[in-house]
């Protein structure tokens, strides 16, 4: 068990570093430190404190780029204590062994998150000495403890105190694995961000397609071991990449989440993020069975539920506003498996927590990242479908243009249709989904399925289609159920026939020029 007599502290994140150093000092551990960390510890009156420059007998240089890159630091970390030759070398060169290294890295991620960050700023925020010390200490894990997170400070101090100044091999091995994971992630983040930048003469593949990486590097720590996957005979787990969304949501109440809960929650959250007005969405097996806007969140929820209260039983709910008491009182009337929202009032949480089986999640909104799917032998990746329809520039294809109420209904239906599985058809009124036909092998069948599912009247509704109508039959079928307007991408070789049918039926038809397949 390595005895901790000397520690090197050099941290960018100085959270609780003074407390950690003071506790180590009280355990008779000598502290060696660098630059800003040294000044913080010195100002705090930490005893037995030495600056790295005193150990190396060489000043920091190159604006701080060179501090710890020195044999008297690297040797003190890398020397194997059981190797007589190593220890003789330390003695011959008067190099003090270093038994604990507490280092965290320049916050490259913060700078990299700025889309307009200049290359020079990115380069200056690439840590060199930090990863070197971390890797050296982790390589020599049997003799040196490497601490990369303030969350480990308390347990380290407690174990040193209880272990008579030593740490167990199990602890140092666990710390080493965490350290290698940290540096690997750091290098990946640097490589990924720099791959987005093109300089004069750069002809790399990443320059030709800056939004898609030349190398797909998927790395995400496991957050949850799930009971099973889509079915009980399948194993499953949740992995996170740290970006805002369902995977990083905070669960405030309810039993553990299942694989299917998470898939449905993600579908619900993606849909609800389309809306600016107060809105509610109800999802069943990734398909919307209700979605509506309203003057209040409670009103939007009541309108969403009207569309299909039968399918909503056991469904997933999502909201784009703080859930208030009135909305919560409506929610608990239904057996919902999970609820996602950006926030909840104290009253709403009290009401929802009375339902033991309701999983309640607080979700942080954020920009969607790369969409990745696995296929046999590899992965598919694409940029997210973040297209927003603007009324200006859309082409009215028929003699009759939509009225204002129809426009509002068409724009709403288009947002929902984007989140329905292809072939996708959505019937809607202004601010309210009426029904959807999803996943059929022909578009006219989706039109029929949506009509068959409708509980509310279809007379006077509009229809959205995620891709063009290949023939007039889909429009003619929808017209039989009383629709007044259609929104679709257009682009079929039969567009003229489809438009002619719409004119004959006195329907308004809008071409968006944009397709929203969702497979």
Instruction: List active site positions.
Output: 139, 285
Q: In what side-by-side order are the strands of the sheet with 30-33?
A: 49-51, 30-33, 6-10, 100-103, 145-147
How many residues comprise the chain? 519
448-453, long-range: CB within 8 Å, 24+ apart, which pairs? 448/477, 449/425, 450/425, 450/426, 451/427, 451/477, 451/478, 451/481, 453/308
399-404, long-range: CB within 8 Å, 24+ apart, which pairs? 399/503, 400/503, 400/506, 400/507, 400/508, 401/508, 402/462, 402/485, 402/508, 402/510, 403/508
Do you find a cis peptide bond into 289, omega within 30 degrees of 0? no
Beta-carbon neighbour count of residue 249 at 10 Å? 23
Q: What's the token pair of residue 351?
A: 């009401």
Question: Do 325 and 347 form a contact (C-beta atoms < 8 A)?
Answer: yes
Which residue reads 């079929």 in tokens? Answer: 492
Which residue reads 């005193």 in tokens? Answer: 54
Element spanning 289, H or E: strand 287-293
Name, in order, each residue with C-beta under 8 angstroms of 124's C-beta and a sequence gap of 6 or more.
none
| DSSP structure string for 211-250 | TS-SS------EEEEES-SSSTTS-EEEE--SSSSGGGPE
Distance between CA atoms of residues 89 and 144, nearest Å: 18
Angle ∠(289,295,296) on CA atoms, nearest 5: 75
Question: Do 337 and 299 form a contact (C-beta atoms < 8 A)?
Answer: no
Residues paired with 486 in a beta bridge: 463, 509
Question: Do 279 and 319 form a contact (C-beta atoms < 8 A)?
Answer: yes
Report which of 362, 311, 350, 361 is spatially closest to residue 334, judged by C-alpha positions: 311
Beta-carbon neighbour count of residue 318 at 10 Å? 30
Burial 163-186 (b: 16+ CB within 10 A, else e): eebbbeeebbeebbebbbebbebb
Q: How far is CA 91 from CA 123, 128, 133, in A?
A: 38, 27, 21
Residues paired with 323 in a beta bridge: 344
């Amino acid at each position: 068990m390595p005895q901790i007599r000397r520690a090197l502290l050099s941290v960018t994140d100085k959270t609780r570093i003074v407390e950690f150093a003071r506790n180590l000092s009280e355990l008779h551990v000598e502290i060696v430190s660098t630059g800003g960390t040294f000044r913080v510890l010195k100002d705090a009156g930490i005893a037995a404190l030495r600056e790295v420059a005193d150990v190396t007998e060489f000043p920091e240089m190159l604006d701080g780029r060179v501090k710890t890159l020195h044999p008297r630091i690297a040797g003190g970390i890398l020397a194997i204590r059981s190797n007589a030759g190593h220890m003789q070398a330390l003695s011959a060169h008067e190099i003090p062994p270093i038994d604990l290294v507490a280092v965290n890295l320049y916050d490259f991620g913060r700078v990299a998150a700025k889309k307009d960050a200049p290359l020079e700023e990115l380069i200056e925020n690439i840590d060199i000495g930090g990863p070197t010390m971390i890797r050296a200490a982790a390589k020599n894990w049997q003799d040196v403890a490497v601490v990369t997170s303030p969350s480990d400070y308390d347990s380290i101090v407690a174990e040193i105190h209880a272990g008579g100044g030593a740490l167990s091999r199990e602890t140092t091995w666990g710390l080493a694995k965490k350290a290698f994971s940290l540096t690997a992630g750091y290098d990946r983040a640097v490589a990924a961000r720099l791959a987005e930048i093109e300089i004069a003469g750069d002809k790399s593949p990443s320059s030709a397609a800056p939004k898609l990486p030349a190398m797909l590097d998927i790395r995400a720590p496991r957050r949850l071991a799930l009971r099973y996957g889509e079915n009980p005979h399948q194993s499953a787990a949740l992995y996170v990449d740290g970006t805002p969304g369902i995977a990083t949501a905070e669960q405030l109440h309810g039993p553990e989440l299942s694989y299917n809960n998470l898939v449905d929650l993600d579908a619900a959250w993606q849909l609800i993020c389309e809306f600016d007005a107060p809105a509610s969405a109800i999802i069943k097996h990734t398909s919307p069975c209700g979605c509506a806007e309203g003057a209040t969140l409670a009103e939007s929820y009541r309108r969403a539920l009207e569309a299909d209260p039968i399918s909503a039983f056991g469904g997933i709910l999502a909201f784009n506003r703080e859930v208030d008491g009135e909305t919560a009182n409506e929610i608990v009337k239904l057996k919902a498996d999970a609820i996602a929202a950006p926030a909840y009032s104290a009253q709403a949480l009290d009401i929802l927590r009375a339902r033991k089986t309701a999983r309640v999640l607080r979700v942080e909104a954020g920009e969607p990242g790369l969409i990745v799917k696995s296929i046999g032998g590899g992965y598919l990746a694409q940029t997210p479908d973040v297209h927003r329809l603007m009324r200006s520039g859309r082409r009215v294809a028929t003699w009759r243009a939509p009225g204002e109420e129809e426009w509002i209904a068409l724009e709403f239906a288009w947002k929902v249709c984007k989140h329905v599985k292809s072939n996708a058809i959505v019937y809607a009124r202004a601010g309210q989904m009426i029904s959807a036909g999803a996943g059929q092998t022909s578009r006219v069948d989706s039109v029929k399925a949506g009509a068959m599912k409708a509980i509310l009247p279809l007379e006077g509704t509009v229809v959205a289609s995620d891709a063009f109508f290949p023939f007039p039959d889909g429009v003619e079928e929808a017209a039989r159920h009383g629709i007044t307007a259609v929104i679709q991408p257009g682009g079929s070789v039969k567009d003229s026939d489809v438009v002619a049918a719409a004119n004959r039926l006195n329907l308004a038809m809008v071409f968006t020029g944009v397709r929203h397949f969702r497979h």
